[in-house]
Amino acid sequence: MIHYNIYFQMAAFVFLAALALICLMRRGAHTLTRAALYRTFASALAATALDVLATPVRAGAWPWLPDRAACLLLAAWMISQFLFFACFVLCTLFLAKVSGKQLRRMMRLTGLVCCVGILAALLSPWLGLLYRPRAQGGFENEPLYLPLLACCWLLLVFGCLWMRRAKPGPGRQCAGCMAGFVLAAMPLQLTAGNVRLFWFVVALALLPAALGAPLPGSQIHSASGCPNYRALSDTLWDCYQFHKPYCLAFLRLAPANDAGGISPAQWLAPTAKRLRAATPRCTVFYLSQAGRFVVFSQGSREGFSSQMAELATGLNEGWALKGCTVTLTQPAILMDGLRCAPDLDQALLLLDLLEEFTPDGPVHAAPQWVNDQALARLQRTLAVRRALTGALDRGRFALRYLPVLDARTGRTVQLEVLPRIDDEQLGLLGPDAFVPIAERSGLAERMGDVIFDSLLEAMAADPELFRSVERVSVNLSPLQLAAPDLADRFVRMAREKRVPCSRLAFELTESRSLRGTDGVPLLIRQLFAAGAAITVDDFGAGHSNLTRILDLPEAGAVKLDRYVMRTCLARDPKLLAHLIDFVHDCGKLVIAQGVESRQQAQQLVKLGADYLQGFYYAMPMDADELRRFLHPDRL
């Protein structure tokens, strides 16, 4: 039986060594989780190797070994077991990403149990706390050995309970699988008697971490060879769990002689290699957007500032690489992590915001720290994004209505919906505040659905309020039109709320071009066929030009841009008259928005505008104000 046990243990050692080698070969940023996994493999290999040597000693199969050497070997074997359990428990918690408070508490508990076990192992040759010699040869366990193993088992049980509070994800699944294997293996080993399969089961438990788990910090960008955004977030998680100060530098790089059409793969990898060589004590990450590299450093900002200043000086002069010269395209941005972002979620949001942040000053300016003014801008954007996310999660926007009046009769014929976000801290936010953020964050489609659903809910809840107007219009951005099922989805939503599509109008905004967005004409035709009216918004500004009118024959009206309207009225009203005549010749009605005075209204009526809209007639109104505006006789 001794020989079979040694074979099992040697097989487990080889298995563990292979897994450890595979784990070491997985490149990535150095994180505490990765370090904890390496320590777990190292302690498991040491414990398995010592178990191979301790098995014949405990069975009395090596009588030639001196008693002192046998006691030292057994003490080292016992210590290796306690160290393994401590490393294993902490590794599972790191993989599951439990909170820093629970991690620190478990560190204290495992440290206490480990110290007691090591002390007992060292004193066992004299006091016999964990083992003692048998009369017929070999050694046997003392009563204190099982209670200490039970304590290790209970620590793992507590770790599993704390894992349940962590965020779901592959890391938590991997940690739960590892802990389940070892929790089942410990009582099975005690009941199996002389068969030593425990370390083979440990190797199976570590298999997911070495092969299948998304090891923190291991995400590598293929073109640059650098760890990417997710690896950076894993590294920042370590800092926030243990309140370690850190600094970041944001470098936007590009080839200076890009006229030859240099592909990213040709310059990203050499640039990343040069950056790593220039910052040996830092970690370089690639954020996969617009050539943005991030240099991460633990510690204070003093030494980091001078190091980045030297790096920026070299980049401003240009790094000569094979086939190109790489330079900075904007001043380097430096961020004192814990000062700018007190928690991890805020730090990750700041990373997204800094992707779009352009610092003041020329390209070759010295590196700039994120100061209070810039941080205030970022914090404002961050607060607006939180308010937007909250509105999307609630599924409701606060709606305001702006009337569109017939230029001849003055009767309100249409209402334009203006979404607002009513936030406790920021107050009432208009579209100018949150729509650009939604478009940059990929939330434009979801936001459009929620706004449209809020409108349908309001029309279904109070049909009497909207009975006197012909239609209610809502903006439709080109980003929403990228969804091929938009028309079907909107028509279905309207039918579910029993709102006829003939009461709806969609205004196509000018923020982006419709060219290259396949399927847009079909979507517009589907909405038009369902009965909705189509309006070209802000004609004369942005991408809302003659091409859009020609591409959208279904559009029944064109809304003039307010800046174009005011400029033409102030400089040469004949230009505006020609523009209105041209729109009429295309078979479309003209809506003049931005009317703010009686004089403007009279001029537009003379020039031939069909409908008028602006603050001269009404400010954006909520439902109660709209009711008083539409039905003043009922008050």
Q: How confident is the model at residue 196, as a pLDDT? A: 66
**Same structural domain for residues 330 and 269?**
yes
Q: How confident is the model at residue 213, as a pLDDT? A: 58
In 3D, which of 144, 143, 123, 125 has the Cα closest to residue 133? Answer: 125
CATH code of the domain containing 200: 1.20.1070.10
CA 551 to each of CA 196, 272, 368, 524, 547: distance values in angstroms, whole numbers, following the listed order: 77, 45, 46, 10, 6
CB atoms within 10 A of CB 258: 12
Q: Comparing 94-108, 354-368, 426-440, 594-608, which segment has the lowest mean pLDDT?
A: 354-368
- Residue 187 lies inside a defined structural domain of this protein: yes
| Averaged pLDDT for residues 585-608 | 89
- Residue 334 lies inside a defined structural domain of this protein: yes
Instruction: Provide the token pair at 151.
Output: 């304590």
Distance (Å, whole) CA 16 – CA 80: 15
**Same structural domain for residues 470 and 613?**
yes
Examine the pLDDT at 259 and tell me if it is beyond 60: no
193 pLDDT tier (thresholds 50, 70, 90): low
**Same structural domain for residues 340 and 453?**
no
Q: How confident is the model at residue 1, as a pLDDT? A: 46
**Same structural domain for residues 200 and 338?**
no
Residue 143: phi and psi, rounded to 5, are -60, -25
Q: Which of 159, 182, 212 is the last residue of a domain?
A: 212
In 3D, which of 575, 497, 580, 583 has the Cα closest to residue 548? Answer: 583
CA 610 to each of CA 475, 547, 564, 607, 630: distance values in angstroms, whole numbers, following the listed order: 20, 22, 17, 9, 20
**Same structural domain for residues 320 and 440?**
no
| Averaged pLDDT for residues 547-561 | 78
Distance (Å, whole) CA 373 – CA 289: 25
Examine the pLDDT at 457 and tell me if it is beyond 90: yes
Give the torsion sign (CA, 171, 172, 176, 182): positive
DSSP class per residue in 462-520: -TTTTTTSSEEEEEE-TTGGGSTTHHHHHHHHHHHTT--GGGEEEEE-SSS--TT-TTH
- Residue 16 lies inside a defined structural domain of this protein: yes
Number of separate domains in the chain: 3
**Same structural domain for residues 129 and 78?**
yes
- List the Cα angle 220/222/226 in 5-degree steps: 45
544 pLDDT tier (thresholds 50, 70, 90): very low
Examine the pLDDT at 458 and tell me if it is beyond 70: yes
pLDDT tens-digit readout, 201-235: 888 888 877 775 555 556 777 777 788 877 888 88
- Residue 184 lies inside a defined structural domain of this protein: yes
- Residue 429 lies inside a defined structural domain of this protein: yes
State the Cα torsion 619-625-631-635 to the nearest 10°. -130
Q: Comparing 390-394, 583-587, 597-601, which segment has the lowest mean pLDDT?
A: 583-587
Q: How confident is the model at residue 218, as a pLDDT? A: 63
**Same structural domain for residues 494 and 418?**
yes
SS (H, E, C) 603-620: HHHHHCCCEECCCCCCCC
CATH code of the domain containing 571: 3.20.20.450
**Same structural domain for residues 246 and 162?**
no
Distance (Å, whole) CA 544 – CA 560: 10
pLDDT tens-digit readout, 42-74: 998 998 888 888 878 877 777 788 888 888 888
- Residue 274 lies inside a defined structural domain of this protein: yes
CB atoms within 10 A of CB 631: 13
Looking up tokens 């007992």 gives: 120
Distance (Å, whole) CA 428 – CA 419: 10
**Same structural domain for residues 464 and 527?**
yes
| Averaged pLDDT for residues 525-535 | 89
522 pLDDT tier (thresholds 50, 70, 90): confident
- Provide the domain limits for residue 281: 229-370
Instruction: Provide the token pair at 378.
Output: 């970022």
Q: Which residue has the higher pLDDT, 170 or 184?
A: 184
**Same structural domain for residues 403 and 353?**
no
Centroid of chain to Cα 577: 50
Q: How confident is the model at residue 546, as a pLDDT? A: 67
**Same structural domain for residues 474 and 351?**
no
pLDDT tens-digit readout, 133-143: 776 677 777 77
Examine the pLDDT at 171 and tell me if it is beyond 70: yes
296 pLDDT tier (thresholds 50, 70, 90): very high
CATH code of the domain containing 235: 3.30.70.270
**Same structural domain for residues 461 and 551?**
yes
With contact defined as beta carbons under 8 Å apart, do 504 and 474 qualify? yes
Q: Which of 212, 240, 266 is the last residue of a domain?
A: 212
Distance (Å, whole) CA 394 – CA 534: 29
pLDDT tens-digit readout, 396-413: 899 999 999 998 888 999
Residue 517: phi and psi, rounded to 5, are -95, 95
DSSP class per residue in 62-92: -TTS-HHHHHHHHHHHHHHHHHHHHHHHHHH
| Averaged pLDDT for residues 335-344 | 86
Q: How confident is the model at residue 414, as a pLDDT? A: 93
Q: Comparing 110-114, 339-343, 512-516, which segment has the lowest mean pLDDT?
A: 512-516
| Averaged pLDDT for residues 598-625 | 91
Distance (Å, whole) CA 89 – CA 157: 9
- Residue 512 lies inside a defined structural domain of this protein: yes
349 pLDDT tier (thresholds 50, 70, 90): confident
Global confidence as pTM: 0.61
Looking up tokens 């209610």 gives: 472
Q: How confident is the model at residue 21, as a pLDDT? A: 82
The mean pLDDT value of the chain amounts to 83
- Residue 243 lies inside a defined structural domain of this protein: yes
Q: Exposed/middle/buried for 587, CB within 10 Å: 0-12, 13-18, 19+?
A: exposed
DSSP state of 632: G
- List the Cα angle 392/395/398 in 5-degree steps: 90
